[in-house]
Structure formats: C-alpha cells, structure tokens
Structure 1
Amino acid sequence: MSAGTAAPRIGVFGGTFDPPHAAHLALAAAALDRLQLDRLLFVVSGSPWQKHGVSPAPDRLKMMELALAQAPAALRERAEVERCELDRAGPSYTADTLALLRRRYGPDAVLMLLIGSDQFRNLPSWHRYDELPALAHIAVADRAGMPADHLPPRTLPAGVAGGTVSFEMPAIDLSATALRTALAAGDRHSIAAMIAPDVLDYIDAHRLYRLPKLAE
C-alpha cells in the first residue's frame, strides 16, 4: 500500500444464503453505511459444518449472484459474491476463510466479520473461534431482538482486527426457513417482495425447495 493511501475497510458476510432474501441485503446495506466499509463480500458457504440439508452450493452461489445483480446500485456497486469456500475442500470454517482473505488483502486491510446477534451469542461454538480476533473485527448486526447491554458498543474499533462493534439494521421479521416452507407449498405470491424476481425464477426453473412427491 502506497504512502497516503487509506487501508481498505472490507466487510465479510458469510452464510448459506438458502435462499438469499431481503434481510440479507438490508444487513449488508446497513453495514456498508454504519461501518464505513469500502467493500463487502457475500461469502457463500461451501460445506457448512453446523447446518445440514442445505441446497447444493452451486445453486446457492448462483442465487446470491442473481440477488446482488438486482440489488440497489448503492449496494451492487460496492459488494461482490465470494466463492472461496466453494473452491476449498472439506468443511467451511470461518477461521480458514478469514485467514485466506487476510493473505489476499494484506496486513493493513481492515476486515470486519459481519454476524447477527444470534450468531454472536453462539460464537464460542464456532470451530477455532478463538482465532477470529487476530484476523478481523467482529461486527454484530442489531436486529432489535437482543438486549442492548448484551451487544458490543457502536464505536468503530481501531486497528485492523481484534475489536467488536454493533450496528443497527432495519427490523425485518423474516427467516429463510419460513421462505423455504412457502416455496415448498408453491406459495410464490406471499413472499415475492422478500426475494428478487430472478432468484424466484431460478428457484422455479431448478425446482428447489420442492416437497418430494408421494408414491402413487
């Protein structure tokens, strides 16, 4: 990095995105604004070790690409879909992903791992979670469901890693499980505002989330 050039501030937002929906995009947009990020990476998990029965990784990657392509320009122009976990064999561990991104962007980059308040509570259950502070800051999205005294402060941390911060995001009562249930029932109309049109078309074309037919 040349003298006088500010270190890039990069948000790392990982998930299964099964399917990607409005709350994912709202969290990303809020993080870009509140955390003063230059760039945001949607890291699509390849083989999530704490979740089972997820859709195939190539489908989830394509859906995330379609969702971002239809997002507002302010998000679309500063975000990208990252596939490094799909290209790495074995379980997808956040510690490995952050280590890879640290090598890619260098020691001066400010990396911020974006997680929800529910994930923040469960952080000690993550594989090698004690390695995360050396690689990135932890930025917790306040979804208005966690007591304020259980959240990190709002003040942006100094340095390139090791701090914790919380940021506000719009309150959106939405879960991927509920969306998959509606899709399995063929109810596209009630969730049309929550999933990008091209993503819904992809789900239909590839028959994702369909319930297995009973044998006649």
Structure 2
Amino acid sequence: MNAPKKIGILGGTFDPPHIGHLKVASHFAKVLCLDELLLIPSGEPWQKGLEITPAKIRLQLTEAAGIDLARAFLYLQIPTQIGIDRIEMDRAGPSYTIDTAQALRERFGPESSLTWLMGADSLIQLPTWNSWKGLFRYMNLAVASRPHFDLATQMSPEIEELLELHQINDPAALENSPAGLIYIDKSLSVDLSSTELRNCLKASSRGQIASEQIPAHTLEIITKLGLYQ
C-alpha cells in the first residue's frame, strides 16, 4: 500500500515573496520529509488593509519565486515537489484559511498529512483568524521562530492552552498525523516581514537590499513592472 502523502502549505499575501519564505519552505520540506509543498498566495487578504498589490501580480511574483525555490531544492537534494496553488484567488470573497484547509483536506483525502507552515508571529495572531480552532480538524502547524522574538512572552492564554493540547517536540510525529498537531522549530530563525521589505524597496538603498532579500526571478518582475517604488 502507498504511504499517506505529506503535504506542506505555505500561505500568505506574498507581497512580495522573499528569501525568508524560501528558507522556511526549504527547511520544513527537509525536516518534515514533505512529498509536496504548496505556495498559496491569498486572494483577498482581509486582515491586510487596502494597499495590497493586485492578486494576479502577486501570483506572478510567487510563481517566479517558485522557480528559485525549485533550484534550491535541487541544490539541497530535497525531492519535494513544488506547486503554486491559486485556490484562494479562484474563490470569491475574503481569503479565510479555514476554507482553504477544508478544501485541501477534501482534495488530498483523510489520510494525508497536511501541515501549514508559518512564523511565530502568525501563531500569536492565530486567535484573530476566522474559525481558527477549526483548523486543527484539517491540518497540523509547523512554526518557525523569528529573530529577537520571544514566543513565551507574547503568548495569550488561548495560545498557551492551544500548545498544551496540541504541541509535540518530534517533527516526525507530523509525518504520521493527518491533522491536529503543532511543532515549533527553534533551529530556524527567519524574518518573514514583507511589510518591512516593501519599505526598504522605497529607500535609496533599494538595489542592494532587494538583491539580498528577494529571489532573483521575483526581483526581475518587480523591476520590470516598477513595483514598490
């Protein structure tokens, strides 16, 4: 019999996608032995306000980042397949993770391990997500630490209770669990702030910062379209 699939999901506004996203994707693809990794740009990111780059352009930027991610996987000998998924862009209305989680569970079946990848700051904000407690019926969470971010001092009672119920210390447990677990990885410390990067792109040092923090193919499109100036 075939073993259940192990699917990782990295969702976000991707405005723009950057090296931090690729590092998180590469790290968890290897640690969790993922069969497939989906990059899912949000269609209507309801918590991000109005000054968001149009969805079609963010999809284009994410597809370009996927090219660099595939090259990184090849170099690192990570066999995970990469997919750029427009599930949230094709769904009308605000992009709620709970809707995406349910749709992906239906797509991949009840046995597959589905793991949503995020930064520690997103975990802290989880109680603000729509129907957030229902997420654990459909997926696991893998959380990357962030530089200078003390998760313990930021946690609300809701998150503390959540971790008591769902946290595990061995990432291998996620491979064998379809949903319901949380793994916090303290070995990876990555800054995931697209907001700060957009501000840097408006500065005089734009060129140097961009080449260090944005995947090459994504930067090429940003430059061509004159974005974030």
Match of 1:33 among 18, 30, 55: 30
Superposed displacement of residue 131, structure 1:
1.0
Match of 2:199 among 139, 164, 181: 181
Count of paired positions: 207
SS in 2 for 1:170: strand
Change (3 A) 1:115 1:177: same
Aligned counterpart, 2:168 = 153
Match of 1:45 among 13, 33, 42: 42
Higher helix share: 2
Is residue 31–residue 167 contact of structure 1 (8 Å, CA) maintained in 2?
no
Matched, 1:136 2:155: no
Aligned counterpart, 2:3 = 6
RMSD between superposed Cα atoms in Å: 2.1
Matches within 5 A, 1:116-135: 116-135=119-138
Change (3 A) 1:169 1:195: farther
Superposed displacement of residue 40, structure 1:
0.9
Superposed displacement of residue 35, structure 1:
1.8
Partner amino acid, structure 1, of 2:97: T
TM-score after normalising by structure 1: 0.87
Partner amino acid, structure 1, of 2:207: R
Change (3 A) 1:51 1:36: same
Change (3 A) 1:76 1:198: farther
Aligned counterpart, 1:90 = 93
Change (3 A) 1:208 1:50: same
TM-score after normalising by structure 2: 0.83
| % same residue | 37
Change (3 A) 1:120 1:147: closer
- Which structure has more RCO (C-alpha within 8 Å, separation ≥ 6)? 2
Superposed displacement of residue 178, structure 1:
2.4
**Structure 2 CA distance, aligned partners of 1:132 and 1:98?**
7
Superposed displacement of residue 176, structure 1:
1.5
Matched, 1:20 2:17: yes
Deviates more, 1:59-68 or 1:154-163: 154-163
Is residue 136–residue 160 contact of structure 1 (8 Å, CA) maintained in 2?
yes
Provide, for residues 31-74 of structure 1, a one-character-per-residue CA deviation record: whole Å limited to 9, x for no partner. 11122211111111000111121111111111111111023124
**Structure 2 CA distance, aligned partners of 1:22 and 1:128?**
30
Superposed displacement of residue 124, structure 1:
1.1
Partner amino acid, structure 2, of 1:194: Q
Deviates more, 1:198-207 or 1:5-14: 198-207
SS in 2 for 1:160: coil
